[in-house]
Structures are given as structure tokens and as C-alpha cells.
Amino acid sequence: MSHRPQTPLTAGLPGPWTAIAVVVALALYPLAMHAAGQDFYISLGSRVLIMALAASALNLALGYGGMISLGHAAFLGVGGYAVAVLAQHGVLAAGLALPVAVIAAAVAAFLIGAVSLRTRGVYFIMITLAFAQVFYYLAISLPRFGGDDGLPLAARSQIPGLALAGDLTFYYFVLFTVGLAFVLLYRLAASRFGRALVAVRENERRMAAIGYPVYRLRLVAFTLSGGLAGLAGALLANLNTGVTPHLLTWHQSGILIVMVILGGAGYFWGGLIGAALFLVLEEVISDHTEHWNLFLGLLLLFIVLAAPDGVMSLRQRLGALLDRKKVAPARETAP
């Protein structure tokens, strides 16, 4: 494989050792925090993992599929509200609540996608935003959904034999769930489906001309993306023991896009890196100043200027730079 150049079809897919290293690091993280007496950072870790899933779900649509959705908060919200509404009706079993949340969000994504994917470019951005706003206003105007206050969760979802109330247990539950979702995302990205999706992003007309049902490919990807975002929403509702309409705001959709672009759209780890960078920076800066938004903004601006294709693209760019340095002296010595 080494003689074949990296292209958008192969770039950004992790090797097995990277994946193992990431899993080990994430598994050790809460133990290290606990040992250091910084238990607060365990729940920050859970938040990072959950938002990493949400951002990676968006990355499937935005990065791999080239569908710039400004409405992914809707799927996050549908997943979260599904868990909260079920809990209100006495359904607390995670084994039921999480799948229902995923399916509800996937159905919402399918319906929104079926309409939105008939448009392109700015129109697609605006129509996904409009749909998400509909969900937002639905949530704040219906008393059954708690209006502006949202819905509190009396307790976290239940798994027989496991107490999710503790932050440490909950972290590992999140790590396990998000890990499974990442395995699914990896298989998708590396499969025939993933290749076709990237190729549609690169050249839609040619893809149709060689026999691909472009619309259907995009719709399937968008639906899967929405379903996974719904899973993130369900976990988030558990983390916060409740949902508020804030989960559904377009601000939330915007943050997801920022995370994806920051980490690297179309790179497998893009969502994880973007979410981690964003949330940790936010945490650290807000510890020091009230005006953390300003500093976070400046820092993000700097990162995006330094790595326009996201942090994950730096490796390739550095590689290309080193290659050029190696080639340059050779050229000088040539007669």
C-alpha cells in the first residue's frame, strides 16, 4: 500500500495502533484524574466524548458527504427529548431509551434529508437550519416538553447491575457506547458506501454518469448521521440529567460545525479532536476570564488560519513540507 499515494479516499482513516492507543488513553483518563483528585474532569471527559460523537456524526454528513447541515442540533435534541419523554412515562431502561432515541432522530433526519437533499449549496444550509428551528419552537411552545425550562430527568437511564449515577461509571458507559458508534463510523468510512459518499462529494455529476443513485446515497448517509447525533443527544440528556431547548438552538448546530472544521472535515478523528479542543479550551479559558468567548474565538481563528483543513490535516501538510525539503537539495546537486 505504501507506494500508493494518499488521496481523499484513503486519507484520515486510522491504523489499528492509533485506534488502540486512543482507546487506552481514554480508558486511563478518568483513573488519572481521580488519582490527581480532579474528579470534576471526569464529567468533562464524558462531555467531550459525547460531543465527539455528535461532531463525528455531523462529520459523516458534512466531511465525508459534503452536506453542510446547519440543523444537526435538531437530531441532538430529538435524541435528548426522546430519553426525557420516555423517562417521564416511567421508561428508564437504557436498553430501550437509547435505541428509541436513535431511531427517532434517524427518522427525523430521513424526513428532513428527503426534502433538503433536493437542494444544493446555500439553499441546503438554509433549509436544514429552518427545519431545526421548527423543532426548537416546537420544544419551547409545547407544555408537554416543558417549554423554556425543558424536561428534567429524575435519574439517569438504568442498566441492570450498573449504577450510572456515579460519574466514573457513567464515563465508562459513555466510552463504551461512543466506542461502538466509532467502530460503526469506521466501517462506514472504509466501506464501498463510504467511498461512494466521498466520491459524490468530489464529483456528483460523474458519479451519476457511472451509475450511482446519488440522491439515495446522500439520504442514507444523512439518516445515519442524524441517528448517531440522536445517540449523542440521548447521552447528553443523561449527563445533564435533563434536556433544555438550548440543545435545539442553531447556536448548537454552529458549534458542531466549528468542531468538525477545527478537527478536520472528512478525517476520521476530526470530530473527536475538534470536540476535545473546543471544550477543553472553553473550560480552561473560562477559568481565567469572564471574556472567555473573545479569547476562545481568537484562538480558534488562529488554529483555522494555521490549519485551514483542520488539525488532522497537519500531518499530511507536514509530510508534504518535509518531502519538499528532501527534494530541494537533490535538485541543486543535479547537473
Binding site for other proteins (CB under 8 A): 1, 3-5, 7-10, 187-188, 190-196, 199, 202-203, 205-214, 217, 220, 224
How near is the Cβ of 120 to other proteins at its closest, in Å? 15
How near is the Cβ of 5 to other proteins at its closest, in Å? 6
How near is the Cβ of 245 to other proteins at its closest, in Å? 33
Nearer to other proteins, 10 or 141 (CB): 10
- For residue 242, give the H/E element and its range: strand 242-243
Angle between helices 214-239 and 167-190 (to 10 degrees): 170
Question: Which residue, among 228, 293, 217, has the nearest Cα to 72 in the 3D structure?
Answer: 228
- For residue 243, give the H/E element and its range: strand 242-243
How near is the Cβ of 1 to other proteins at its closest, in Å? 7
How near is the Cβ of 309 to other proteins at its closest, in Å? 12
How near is the Cβ of 231 to other proteins at its closest, in Å? 16
Residues 6+ apart with CB under 8 A from 334: none
In DSSP terms, which residues pair with 159 in a beta bridge? 162
Nearer to other proteins, 174 or 207 (CB): 207
Nearer to other proteins, 98 or 196 (CB): 196
Phi, psi of 260 (to 5 degrees): -65, -45
Distance in angstroms (rounded) separating the CA atoms of residues 238 and 252: 18
Q: For residue 78, give the C-alpha cell.
A: 430529538
Nearer to other proteins, 221 or 247 (CB): 221
Single-letter residue type at 101: A
How near is the Cβ of 236 to other proteins at its closest, in Å? 25
Phi, psi of 220 (to 5 degrees): -60, -45
Residues 6+ apart with CB under 8 A from 325: none
Distance in angstroms (rounded) separating the CA atoms of residues 13 and 79: 28
Question: Which residue, among 137, 131, 136, has the nearest Cα to 115 in the 3D structure?
Answer: 131
Nearer to other proteins, 85 or 185 (CB): 185
Angle between helices 270-288 and 40-59 (to 10 degrees): 140
Q: For residue 85, give the C-alpha cell.
A: 419523554
Nearer to other proteins, 226 or 242 (CB): 226
Nearer to other proteins, 67 or 199 (CB): 199
